[in-house]
Homo-oligomer: A and B are copies of this chain.
């Protein structure tokens, strides 16, 4: 069956093949021809209120789905979404941005057209810095290869990609896509891989207390099941980090806890730091994942595998891919018998949360209650802020049930990201744990959650200001916010009034009632404003604040 291929259709076909069944974005005149093709394609369009939020949504989608895509117009769109793309770059999320652009005759004339900042290369140059590959399509002959190149680089390196599609290029005929195309995963150097595995095995053999530290890069490369097979086969204890929280099940008998350097629970810190062979797999040593660089990992006893290489002591094995390394270790390492000395305990049913009558809500009780509320069908999105600090204490079974930006830490991310999660996985229910300051950044995307009928639960921790800043530093008036009636937001965005509901919980009883209602109405959106005393926060944030004030960043 013949199909008339155009550059737009080619892009859509490749995005679909790569797994993007939805695209997020905002229309604008330079991209309307492409959007017409989106509507005519099997890819579903999800319009958002602004471009930054489209980027966050596509990032959340990509974390669930392996790839995400966003469509924007030139300049005003391409530069508004930029922070979301930068975050995806920092956190290794393959997010493809398709940006419309002025047509060739305007570009070639250097015409001053609307949305142009300066030169016609500026936006491309900016995107080159925050993508695995970026292209301005100028020739339908070369466009297919260029599109393939961007997608392949993005998927291989788990980084964003950028396709600039001038308006006159969108409908240009081009060759058909090769249906057998698959992006090629990066390949390890066999000799380097073998040498790294052998050296690891030799050290592992001599160790009495080996331990695996499973990190963020495993999560981004979707190597959770490989990592689980490794730790179960060789039967050693494992710890995760905040950025890789729940990558392996937190109810697993070999799980020892979340390692955060000096911020860890003491028993976890000692087990990790005293291991005599530590397999640090995809562990990124970022400040917030290491308790502000308060880790003490002896390089002589640690094997670092990440970023395409393995480092053991002074030796670096280049071109060793994390997945190849993890899978090779399964056969190469002598199994231990951790569970003999640490038998699996029967999983204790969590004591139900009982609201104290007429008792004002506090942060510890809020998090305790939420911890008991989450179930395996829920995906928790924890905003950088107090949510992020409270998160280590939520026990979560499934990798995909927890999303946090521990490294880029862009507040406002979680509400739009929940849209991406909900669209990617209608079988899951997003639970956003956000702050008042964070919600104010991107509050309008509640509207798109409602429009798309995403039954999210959004818990807004209202503690009257930027609490994190108050804790990290002397408090200043710049941390004050306008007080909103958060619970009224659903009434603004849900015109029909039949899908989204807001409530305020200032007492434990009100919180329990609101969560109960949200659970009883699994097909509705619930926003719950948790009203906390000013400066009330999690123990985690208190500890973070102390570290920051001591270290001055």
Contacts and interface: CB of A to CB of B under 8 A. Distances in A.
A466 to B, nearest CB: 6
A3 interface: no
B76 A409 contact: yes
11 contacts: A28-B469, A36-B476, A49-B482, A76-B411, A79-B83, A87-B117, A112-B287, A114-B408, A122-B129, A168-B552, A450-B482
A443 interface: yes
A89 interface: yes
Interface of A: 27-30, 32-33, 35-36, 38-39, 45, 47, 49-50, 52, 75-76, 79-80, 82-83, 86-87, 89-90, 102-103, 106, 111-118, 122, 125-126, 129-130, 167-168, 284-288, 293, 384, 406-412, 440-444, 447-448, 450-451, 466, 468-469, 472-474, 476-486, 488-489, 491-493, 495, 548, 552-553
A482 B129 CA distance: 34
A266 to B, nearest CB: 24
A75 B469 contact: no
A122 to B, nearest CB: 6
A536 to B, nearest CB: 19
A286 B112 contact: yes
B82 A476 contact: no
A297 B125 CA distance: 35
A118 B106 contact: no
A130 B118 contact: yes
Contact of A553 (B50, B167, B468): B167
Give the oligomeric copy count.
Answer: 2
Contact of A117 (B36, B103, B130, B442): B130
Given A76-B87, A86-B79, A118-B89, A469 B125 contact: no
Nearest to A47: B478
B29 A553 contact: yes
Which among A39, A83, A489 has the greatest number of chain B C-beta atoms within 10 A?
A83
B118 A478 contact: no
Contact of A492 (B83, B480, B492): B492
B408 A115 contact: yes
B409 A114 contact: yes
Contacts of A125: 129
A411 B484 CA distance: 24
Given A52-B80, A293-B111, A444-B443, A47 B480 contact: yes
A288 B102 CA distance: 14
B286 A114 contact: yes
A32 B469 contact: yes
Contacts of A38: 478
A493 to B, nearest CB: 6
The 9 tightest CB contacts between A and B, nearest first, are A79-B83, A76-B410, A451-B482, A483-B495, A112-B286, A80-B83, A49-B440, A50-B441, A32-B473
A428 B367 CA distance: 47
A422 to B, nearest CB: 15
Nearest to A410: B76
